[in-house]
Amino acid sequence: MAAPEGPLVVGVDSSTQSTKALIVDAATGQVIAQGQARHTVTPDHESDPRLWWDSLRDALEQCGPYARQASAVSVAGQQHGLVTLDRNGQPVRPALLWNDVRSAPQRDRLIERLGGPKAWAERIGSVPSPSFTAPKWAWLSEHEPEAARATAAVRLPHDYLTERLTGAAVTDRGDASGTGWWASSTQRYDEGVLELIGLDPTLLPRVLGHGEAAGTVRDLPGLPLPRGALVATGTGDNMAAALGLGLRPGQPVLSLGTSGTVYAVSRHRPTDPTGTVAGFADARDAWLPLACTLNCTLAVDRIAALLGLDREAVEPGGATVLFPFLDGERTPHLPYASGLLYGLRHHTSGGQVLQAAYDGAVFALLRALNLVLDGDSDPDAPLVLIGGGAKGTAWRETVRRLSGRPVRVPRARQLAALGAAAQAAGLLLGEDPAGVARRWGTDIGPSYAAVPRDEAALGRLEEALTGADALLRPR
3-class SS of residue 13: strand
Question: Within a 10 A sphere around the Cβ of 375, how many other Cβ atoms?
Answer: 7
Q: Is 289 exposed, middle or buried (0-12, 13-18, 19+ CB in 10 A)?
A: buried
Of the residues 237, 282, 443, 454, only one is catalytic, namely 237
Q: What does the buried/exposed string (b/e) look like for 313-340 if buried means 16 or more CB atoms within 10 Å of the residue's CB?
A: ebeeebebbbbbbbbbbbbbebbebebb
3-state secondary structure at position 213: strand
Which secondary-structure segment (H or E) carries 448?
Answer: strand 447-448
Are 165 and 73 spatial neighbours (Cβ–Cβ below 8 Å)? yes
Q: How far apart are CA 156 and CA 167, in angstroms?
A: 15
Spell out the residues 6+ positions from residue 115 whose beta carbon is closer than 8 angstroms to its own: none
Residue type, 430: G
Assess contact for 70 and 226: CB atoms under 8 A: yes
- Count of CB atoms situated within 10 Å of the CB of 127: 25
The beta strand positions in 151-265, using DSSP E, are 153-155, 170-172, 182-183, 188-189, 206-208, 213-216, 230-232, 235-236, 253-256, 260-263
CB atoms within 10 A of CB 187: 16
- Between the two ends of the chain, the Cα-to-Cα distance in Å is 61
Count Cβ atoms below 10 Å from residue 296 Cβ, excluding itself.
26
Q: Are 80 and 129 in contact (CB under 8 A)?
A: no
Helix (H) or strand (E) holding 444: none
C-alpha span between 29 and 246 (Å, rounded): 12
Task: Report helix, strand and coil shares of the chain as percent, to nearest 5.
Answer: 35, 20, 40
d(C-alpha 211, C-alpha 431), whole Å: 9
Q: Give residue 121's region: left, alpha or beta (phi > 0; psi -120 to 50).
A: alpha
Four-CA torsion 340, 345, 346, 349, nearest 10 degrees: -60
443 counts as catalytic: no
Question: What backbone torsions phi and psi does residue 404 show, to the nearest 5 degrees?
Answer: 70, 20
- Residues 162, 420: Cα–Cα separation, whole Å: 12
Q: Which residues are catalytic?
A: 237
